[in-house]
Structure 1
Amino acid sequence: MRYLLLALLYLMSGVALAAPTQPGKAYLTLIIDDLGQNPARDSRTLALPGPVTLAIMPDTPHATDFARQAHRAGKTVILHMPMDPATGPYAWHPGTPLPELERRLNAALDKVPYAVGINNHMGSRMTAEPVAMAWLMGELQRRGLFFVDSRTSAATVAAKSAQDISLASVSRDVFLDDVRTTDAIAGQLQQGIALARKQGTAVLIGHPYPQTLEVLERELPKLKAQGIEWIEIAQMIAERGNRAMPAHGKQGLYSPARAAQ
């Protein structure tokens, strides 16, 4: 709850908090995408220890029920917003008029109650659209929601659009399960841990695949012993001060105007 209050204060401020990571600290945040499709996998994800952020798809049969269940369990819920090349009734596509994008966003948020932010599901084409992304970030600012750029494409302008208006935001560093074997997923988790040690923070995204959940159930309880502090996504946003990882943009800042400040 204290991190949610921090996030609300941060969002209301309208400015990026210059909160550098404490020297010697290694912070990690974990998001699980594509939830709402399978009650057994959703429940298994909910049972993971620690502050897992749950990204729920609006066009799934259990989206609303699971969002309520997750909220009751004290978990952070975000909307996993479908974006082109994703399809379906909520998906955003290049060339769609802004009023229709707004209608789909409203409908998606209605399906996922208690969402305090959103991230993109797929979206390699849509997140490269500067006009739509600028509108989205302004709308999220108005609603008091944060944005997570899943970085499904190097051409994304989503994080830059968020930084341009000082919207509370963060970007993904590591995908855990592009390769769905336990060995590969464990290796990606170790890559995320190494990155957290190197740059102070790492944002990881995974999916509720049986192999991913098996690795997380086994490895997450070991993080503290490895010197990794697993934190809520709101705290990660504050720690990073809206910056992406240093390799993205100029020291994590995409906007030249802000990078020069």
Structure 2
Amino acid sequence: MPKRSRSTQSRKKQHTPVRVKLLLAFLVITLVGGVGLVKYFKSPRGKAFLLERGFTVYYDEVQDAVGKQLLDALEQLRLRDRMKGRIEIKTVGGWKCYYKRWDVPCGDECDLVRVNVALTKAVRRAGLSVREAVEESDGNVLRFDVGTKKHRTHLIFIRKGERISIIDKTARPKLAIVVDDFGYSKNSLIEDIFALDFPLTITIIPSLPHSESIAALASRSGKEILLHLPMEAEEPNDSDVEMVLTSMSNRRIRQLVESYLEQIPGVSGVNNHMGSKATQDERVMRVVLSVLRRRGLFFLDSLTSHKSIAYNTAKSMGVGTARNTIFLDADASDPNIIEERLQRLVSIARQRGRAVGIAHPKRWSLDVLRKSRALCEVSGVQLVFVSELID
């Protein structure tokens, strides 16, 4: 067998390192590209790209990202404090899109072109598109439509020449009374509570024998209805219905909240039933609140734990929220104790301008609630639905 020449062997030794270098370079480029791709899809721009291609799970995050930029722009334009917002629904391919509509009065001096430019820059910083920006009503209204090609996130109306409302600092203090735990029974006590002749908010636990019929009765009686969402407590206890647990996946929490909301029609918002553990868990609360935000509902923190983060988390997510001030009849069946707490609640409302009290459907509580209208009138406090105290 002929021997290879030294020149052939040396050439082979020279080629081997080149192949290794090329392979290493390819691996490095692939790795860097993969990392870059992951980083891109985690950015608002990347999530907007995925949303446009059907990944609707990213809708809330995309909406939050562009919303923050838009609010910053309105702040710089000194228009943010004038804004009034609400949630509206647009169906896209069978999927309900809960977009935000903002109405912003800006006075006669407002330059709509300048506003348009500022909002457009804000949208582009978030990686989204201006779907449409047109002046209407003879140049007095800027209609500014934001989102992706398929999905609207915001619809903003800048209204030139509209009078700017001024908060009346002489307004009467407001007090909301909430009665929890409806759904277990339907009897004369329930009917007597619904006969109270002042704004009353009632909360209904889902999946109970009388949940749906109580909702219908409350609606006919002109009462405000909340879903009383069962949530995990710090101390284990039996529950008649499935509760939101901290051990649940995000998907299961969303499914459970959605199914309960479907059971109780006409709700204005949600508050927690128990929940001393769940309301301390930021992940759990963000999932629950994201469902409410899409539906335009608020969250009343019952404050079953002083460690609850529900109220602050809701505010950070742009979800309407309020929190309980006093449990009127917690661990008390003595009408004198309950009445003392009611008087303290009225006093707090006068000091702070607002207060929320939670009671339960008990005969001894009803006897005290019947006195609340007269007590509030004497104290100069206005009784309202809890939805009127939402931040």
Decide: shared fold, TM above 0.5: yes
- Assess if the C-alpha contact under 8 Å between 1:63 and 1:112 holds in 2: yes
Find the aligned partners of 2:248 and 2:178 in 1 and give their Cα distance: 28
Where 1:66 maps in the other structure, the secondary structure is helix
Closer/same/farther in 2, CA of residues 10 and 191 from structure 1, 3 Å limit: farther
Q: 2:213 aligns with which of 46, 55, 65?
A: 65
Cα distance in 2 for residues equivalent to 1:64 and 1:234: 21
The structure that is strand-richer by fraction is 2
From 169, 177, 189, the equivalent of 1:30 is 177
Q: In structure 1, what is the equivalent of residue 348 of structure 2? A: 195
For the residue of structure 2 that corresponds to 1:115, the secondary structure is: coil
Alignment of structure 1 residues 42-121 onto 2, 5 Å: 42-85=190-233, 87-121=239-273
Cα distance per residue 1:228-258 (max 9 Å; x no partner)? 1111222211xxxx2xxxxxxxxxxxxxxxx
- Asked if 1 retains the 8 angstrom alpha-carbon contact of 2:232 and 2:244, the reply is yes
- 1:211 matched to 2:358: no
Q: State how far apart, in whole Å, the 1-side matches of 2:284 and 2:101 are.
A: 20
Corresponding position of 1:153: 305
Do the aligned partners of residues 72 and 198 (structure 1) sit closer, same or farther apart at CA in structure 2, a change above 3 Å counting? same
Matched letter for residue 234 of structure 1? S
* Pairwise CA distance, 1:136: 1.5
Gaps of 5+ in 2: 1-83, 88-99, 103-164
Q: Which amino acid aligns with 1:47?
A: A
Please give the secondary structure, in 2, of the residue aligned with 1:151. coil
Map 1:244-259 to 2 at 5 A: none
Q: After superposition, what is the alpha-carbon deviation per residue over 1:42-71, rounded to whole angstroms, capped at 9, x for unaligned?
A: 222211121100101113211001101111
Match of 2:371, SS? helix
Percent of pairs identical after alignment?
28
Structure 1 Cα separation of the partners of residues 319 and 366 of structure 2: 31
CA contact (8 A) 1:90 1:105 kept: no
Alignment of 1:152-171 (within 5 A): 152-171=304-323
Q: Which residue of 1 aligns with 2:34?
A: none
Counterpart CA distance in 1 for 2:166 and 2:226 is 23
Given the superposition, is the C-alpha separation of residues 223 and 37 from structure 1 closer, same or farther in structure 2, using an over 3 Å criterion?
A: same
Count of equivalent residues? 229
Misfit runs of 4+, over 4 Å: 18-21
Kept in 2: contact 1:28–1:193 (CA 8 A): yes
Normalised to the residue count of structure 2, the TM-score between the two structures is: 0.55
Residue identity opposite 1:191 in structure 2: R
**CA 1:201–1:20 in structure 2 vs 1: closer, same or farther (change >3 Å)?**
farther
AA of the residue aligned to 2:191:
S
Q: Take 2:365 and 2:373, find their aligned partners in 1: how far apart are those partners?
A: 11
1:143 aligns with 2:298: no
3-state SS of paired residue (2:228):
strand
Structure 1 residues without counterparts, runs of 5 or longer: 1-8, 243-261
CA distance in 2, matches of 1:53, 1:11: 21
Amino acid at match of 1:218: K
Bigger Cα Rg: 2
In 2, Cα distance between equivalents of 1:72 and 1:64:
13
- CA positional deviation for 1:19: 8.8
Q: Is the 1:27–1:230 contact (alpha carbons within 8 Å) kept by the matching residues of 2?
A: yes
Structure 1 contact 81–119 (Cα < 8 Å) conserved: yes
CA distance in 2, matches of 1:21, 1:119: 29
Relative contact order: is structure 1 or structure 2 higher (C-alpha 8 Å, sep ≥ 6)?
Answer: 1
- Asked if 2 retains the 8 angstrom alpha-carbon contact of 1:49 and 1:221, the reply is no
- Which residue does 2:326 correspond to in 1? 174
Deviation at 1:158, TM superposition (A): 0.7
| Aligned-partner residue type, residue 117 of structure 1 | G
Contact 1:196–1:202 (CA under 8 A) maintained in structure 2: yes
Say if 1:93 and 1:117 are closer, same or farther in 2 by CA, change over 3 A. same
Give 2:286's aligned amino acid. Answer: A
Q: Give distance in 1, aligned partners of 2:101 and 2:170.
A: 26
* Aligned counterparts of 2:85 and 2:353: Cα–Cα separation in 1: 20
Q: Which residue of 2 aligns with 1:234?
A: 387
Q: Which residue of 2 aligns with 1:131?
A: 283
RMSD value over aligned CA atoms?
2.2
What amino acid sits opposite 1:124 in the alignment? Answer: S
Instruction: Find the aligned partners of 1:207 and 1:220 in 2 and give their Cα distance.
Output: 17
